[in-house]
Amino acid sequence: MTVTEERTGAEVGRDRHRKEDARLITGRTMWTENLSLPGMVHLAILRSPMAHARITNLDVSPALRLPGVVEAFSGRDVADMQGSLPCVWPVTEDIVMPDYPPLAVDEVRHTGEPVAVVAARDRASAQDALEAIEIDYEPLPVVLDMEAALADDAPLVHGEKGTNRCYTWVLDSAAAGTGDDVAQAEADAEVVVRRRFIQQRLIPSFMEPRSVVVDPTGDQITVWSATQVPHILRILLSMSTGVAEHKIRVIAPDVGGGFGGKLQVTPEEFIAFAAARRFGRPVKYTESRSETMLSGHHGRDQIQDITVTARRDGTVTGISAKLLANMGAYLGIITPGTPLLGAFMYGGIYKFPAYRLECTGVFTNTTKTDAYRGAGRPEATFALERIMDELAAELDMEPMELRRRNWITHDEFPFTTSAGLTYDSGNYEAATDKAMEMFGYDDLRREQAERRASGDRIQLGIGISTYTEMCGIAPSRVLGQLRYAAGGWEAASVRMLPTGKVEVVTGTSPHGQSHETAWSQIVADQLGVDFADIEVLHGDTRTSHKGLDTYGSRSLAVGGIALVNACQKVVDKAKPIAAHLLECDPADLEFVEGQYRVKGSPGAGKTLADCALAVFTSHDLPDGVEPSLDGDATFDPENFSYPHGTHLCATEVDTETGRVTIRSYVAVDDVGKVVNPTIVEGQVHGGVAQGIAQALYEEAIYDDDGNLMTGTFVDYTLPSSADLPDFTTDRTETPATGHPLGTKGVGEAGTIASTPAVVNAVVDALRHLGVNDVRMPCTPERVWQAIRNAQGNAQEGGDRP
Amino acid sequence: MTTISMTVDGVRYDDDVEPRTLLVHHLRDRLGKVGTVVGCDTSNCGACTVLMDGKSVKSCTVFAVQADGTDITTVEGLAARDGEMHPVQQAFHETHALQCGYCTPGMIMSAVDLLAENPDPSDAEIREGLEGNLCRCTGYQNIIKAVREAGQAMQTATAASPEPATSDAGNGVPGQQPAATAPGGPAHTTAVGEVRT
């Protein structure tokens, strides 16, 4: 397992096996749920079975009489200390922001909302005792549908707010001065295509259920949590509960996936925090999978009305998107902002002169939505790439040709879009050409024509997605302009140990992304030390006191640059020490391949390890030199990161059963320079799989009373190995220009790209039968229904899953 | 309370358990074998898979009392005592078949069982064979590759040493087929953990 080979050149770009694996493949992993502390009690949470109701009676005392039960309390018992869960992205000045008590106090607003807590000696006793709690509800009217929720006489999710409209946010290129007017473009258009797309609700479904342990010791409180955001959790726990920030330590130990689903500060974390403070002893809460699905935040859930305007020659003149975004019943950490992460991307890789986006957030009696892999950008990319295919059909133009006619060409970078973003670099031609060749595009088009001509039961469809996205979150100034409450910088520290080993502290918080390996590769090159001699520390606010954590494909694109800068500070700091050891002038030294050498003199030099030992002893340092060899850096990007690529999907659709089979899937991504190609490929595989899952398999469904009908893995169809194809992946490499690594984010790219590629392929297989849309997920029944409807001259895809 | 006795990763444990205790909770909460994890509550995800008398079971779908008298191997008992990884563990590492690693213990144990039953599976057979183990990170492609490569490595090792291995490793080491019969007769379990003893 241990990597022992000698340094043989650059680490960056190399397929290193992961450092993380040793503990993960042997079961020696530190999941939060594995933690057990002396005197610890286990929490179980009673949850509302009603989607909207007033709590008329709540008595926890019967639970207290059961064996093993230590404590029980309701929202009313902790109303003054539990805090209100924070939303840090009030996207407009007039946004409606309701209180969000971790434990409901008087009213519940979605099924699964926590109403009471039991603490007991073990999990089973706590769970049993929930049944003894007496609670009565008075049902209130439920509103689930977004358009119904906006009607004048709609039942209100938060009665005191007087409306279910959370906000309306507008970006208009004419008003902003970044482009033309969409209304004028529509008036002048030779062709106008309008479509409504439904982004179904999804459940992030990280494999490790969330778990939290809170240990109050004196006035210090340590929190272990299965979170993506330990630093953000600490500051928000402090700001919301009034416990001083320096008295809270948050640790994210090994975390089993997140995909945005653990980019949250949760009611359960706040409840455990309140319980530990109330009892003065350690508590643990681990949710069941059903609880995760019921009350962990969901993703997507938008209605998208899209209009695209064009000339007959295929030149697109404008795009307009009107969104309804389901907030759910409450606002989580970035619930309102999540759809807006895609608000700038409805133009994708294209030069659309006019741009308008209007997004209305809507409260309903459902679980809150928030970030899920891609967060807003999959929705934008889906709508854009789907309507490009619809426009191509309207113009009777080859869909790739339509894209070529409109995309930003390689020699036009940097390019400022009508949405106001400046894309630093890209090469859409290169990625597309490579993908089409690997895919065998022309041969597949020929086969498609043959199958259509022969009326084959199995029809072939070809789906295109030429995507880009904005990630590497984010320039702090831009976040400020968008009314986000925090910045987007990232921090790193590098310290040389006396024996020449290196400790690296990062403010990023990996949960599957392989930072321990990739960060080691970067540092090995920067400092000229062995890969194996580097330890990467993360996820504990005591060791990593400064950071903004992992989401939005930011860790490498932002945190990686902080790391390079910290290394550079170490190299600079050691230089006078090396010069002193070599008895020369620092100005005569250069640092090459881990050695300070006198320029032009190839003789023996001094390594950073030599300098580290000299600093440790400090017997003979130059005057005025601090006896320490370390560097801290914080990096705030000037721009987002814009990875792009071309994904092509071939589907075989059985026109008699509606069954869709992915025959081949080719992904050519351009994520700039790459630190570890194997890790990047793994991110693409997983991302593509999640995008395919939205296209074909997954949907969270509520019944008319607001009960989640897909609350387990039996009903919510996470794809298995038997459901997914092999992916053919490759890359082109167009470096980012804004920083020294040249890297772009990759975490979300596959998910953003793949959903429209698959649905375009399904629709393409059936277009000659009159089908022009199939609602996601494209289940056999929906596909079959779409064919039937088309035969009856209906225009819409099936409604039922 | 019912008294049960089982061997877990080579160590015998005698315990009194509540009849409703699931094997996975017994392993984790009582025996401290926290390498085996819980990912769902409906026996869909397979994260809790262990070998019971050499056959994979979802330990959330077996009561601890049903495991009385059996020999359990968890991911913690798979490597040799000298630390040498089992070929499936090694292959998962070398092919980047894990990211967050939460499904990995169950995925590895299912793969060990799959290769014991079918030492040279096709990719389609691997995909079908691991259908009961969900992964959210990898898209499965590298997992399929890992199992294929582990199978090849185990066949090569078996060909190189036709005698049963005398390694002190746990079940599933090349040349050492997991015991097909348990004390008291043959045991068989389906992939979803229905136990017939």
Residues 628 to 657 of A: which have CB under 8 A from any B CB? none
The string of DSSP letters for A280-318 reads TS-EEEE--HHHHHHHS-BEEEEEEEEEEEE-TTS-EEE
> Which letter, b or e, does each residue of A507-528 get, where b requires 16 or more Cβ atoms within 10 Å of its Cβ?
bbbbbbbbbbbbbbbbbbbbbb
Mean pLDDT confidence for B44-51: 98
The total of other beta-carbon atoms located within 10 Å of residue A603's CB is 7
Distance CA A795, CA A89 (A): 38
| Residue A481: partners with Cβ closer than 8 Å, 6 or more residues away | none
Q: Is the pLDDT of residue B189 over 80?
A: no
- Per domain, the residue ranges of chain A are 21-29+489-635, 40-372, 424-471+641-791
Mean pLDDT confidence for B52-73: 98
B2-78+177-188 topology per CATH: Ubiquitin-like (UB roll) (3.10.20)
Q: Which residue has the tokens 């500051």?
A: A235
Answer yes or no: are the C-beta atoms of B132 and B140 closer than 8 Å: no
Summary mean pLDDT of chain B: 86
For residue A206, with 0-12 CB atoms within 10 Å meaning exposed, 13-18 middle and 19 or more buried, which class applies? buried
- Paired tokens of A491: 């921090």
DSSP 3-state assignment of A480?
helix
Task: Report the chain A residue with the minimal C-alpha distance to residue B125.
Answer: A722
Residues 708 to 727 of A: which have CB under 8 A from any B CB? 712-714, 718, 720-722, 724, 726-727
- Paired tokens of B186: 């043959």
Chain A residues with CB under 8 Å of B136 CB are 205-207, 257, 259, 686, 690, 718
Q: Which part of chain B has CATH 3.10.20.30?
A: 2-78+177-188
The pLDDT, as a whole number, for residue A593 is 86
Q: How far apart are the first and last CA of chain B?
A: 21
Q: How far is the CA of A299 from the CAs of A328, A369, A377, A723, in angstroms?
A: 10, 5, 12, 22
Distance CA B113, CA B110 (A): 5
Residues 242 to 261 of A: which have CB under 8 A from any B CB? 254-257, 259
CATH code of the region A21-29+489-635: 3.30.365.10
Give the bridge partners for A641, in sequence order.
A471
A424-471+641-791 topology per CATH: Aldehyde Oxidoreductase; domain 4 (3.30.365)
Q: What is the DSSP letter of A471?
A: B
Give the bridge partners for A284, in sequence order.
A42, A213
- Paired tokens of A759: 């649905």
| Residue A93: partners with Cβ closer than 8 Å, 6 or more residues away | none
Residues 69 to 128 of B: which have CB under 8 A from any A CB? 74-76, 78-79, 85, 89, 92-94, 96, 98-105, 108, 123, 126-128
Q: Which of A257, A288, A720 sits opposite B41 (nearest CB)?
A: A288
Angle made by CA atoms A18, A20, A25, in degrees to the nearest 5: 100
DSSP 3-state assignment of A5?
coil
CATH class assigned to A40-372: alpha beta
Mean pLDDT confidence for B97-108: 98
Distance CA A566, CA A572 (A): 10
Residues 427 to 466 of A: which have CB under 8 A from any B CB? none
- Paired tokens of A264: 């949250």
Cα-atom radius of gyration of chain A, to the nearest Å? 28
Q: How far is B71 from chain A (nearest CA, A)?
A: 18
Distance CA B64, CA B48 (A): 13
ipTM of the modeled complex: 0.96
Q: Is the pLDDT of residue B174 over 70?
A: no
> Which letter, b or e, does each residue of A468-481 get, where b requires 16 or more Cβ atoms within 10 Å of its Cβ?
bbbbbbbbeebbee
The string of DSSP letters for A622-658 reads PTT--S--EEEEEE--SS-B--EEEEEEEEEEETTT-
Q: Which of B36, B42, B85 sits opposite A27 (nearest CB)?
A: B36
Distance CA A772, CA A697 (A): 20
> Which letter, b or e, does each residue of B95-133 get, where b requires 16 or more Cβ atoms within 10 Å of its Cβ?
bbbbbbbbbbbbbbbbbbbbbbeeeebeeebbbebbbbb
Domains A21-29+489-635 and A424-471+641-791 share a fold: yes
Q: Which of B29, B35, B132 sits opposite A27 (nearest CB)?
A: B35
CATH code of the region B87-160: 1.10.150.120
The total of other beta-carbon atoms located within 10 Å of residue A150's CB is 16
Q: Is the pLDDT of residue B170 over 50?
A: no
DSSP 3-state assignment of B129?
helix
Answer yes or no: are the C-beta atoms of B53 and B69 closer than 8 Å: no
Amino acid (one-letter) located at A444: L
User: Mutate which of A721, A748, A754 to disrupt the B interface (most B C-beta within 10 Å)?
Assistant: A721
| Residue A106: partners with Cβ closer than 8 Å, 6 or more residues away | A54, A55, A76
Q: How far is A712 from chain B (nearest CA, A)?
A: 7
Chain A residues with CB under 8 Å of B47 CB are 207
**β-pair type (A660-670, A728-731):** parallel
The pLDDT tens digits for A441-467 are 999 999 999 999 999 999 999 999 999
Q: Which residue has the tokens 């990763």?
A: B9
DSSP 3-state assignment of A506?
strand
The pLDDT, as a whole number, for residue A792 is 82
Chain A residues with CB under 8 Å of B38 CB are 33, 209
Distance CA A770, CA A393 (A): 11
Mean pLDDT confidence for B142-157: 96
The total of other beta-carbon atoms located within 10 Å of residue B16's CB is 10
Chain A residues with CB under 8 Å of B135 CB are 207, 721
Answer yes or no: are the C-beta atoms of A431 and A670 closer than 8 Å: yes
The pLDDT, as a whole number, for residue B190 is 33
Give the bridge partners for A670, in sequence order.
A644
Residues 492 to 511 of A: which have CB under 8 A from any B CB? 511
Mean pLDDT per block of 10 residues along chain A (801 residues) reads 50 97 97 97 98 98 97 94 93 98 97 98 96 98 98 97 98 98 98 98 98 95 98 97 97 98 98 95 98 97 98 98 98 98 98 98 98 98 98 98 98 98 98 98 98 98 97 96 97 98 98 98 97 98 96 96 98 97 95 92 89 97 94 97 98 98 98 98 98 98 98 97 98 96 96 98 98 98 97 56 46
State whether the Cα torsion B94-A644-A474-B102 is positive or negative.
negative
Q: Which of B18, B101, B136 sits opposite A24 (nearest CB)?
A: B101
- Strands, E assignment, A142-228: 165-172, 191-202, 211-217, 220-225
State whether the Cα torsion B115-B121-B123-B126 is positive or negative.
negative
Whether chain A has a CB inside 8 Å of the CB on B57: the answer is no
Cα-atom radius of gyration of chain B, to the nearest Å? 16
| Residue A322: partners with Cβ closer than 8 Å, 6 or more residues away | A304, A305, A306, A357, A358
For residue A178, with 0-12 CB atoms within 10 Å meaning exposed, 13-18 middle and 19 or more buried, which class applies? middle
- pLDDT-derived band at B158 (thresholds 50, 70, 90) equals confident
The conformational region for residue B148 under phi > 0 = left, psi -120 to 50 = alpha, else beta, is alpha
Answer yes or no: are the C-beta atoms of A108 and A53 closer than 8 Å: yes
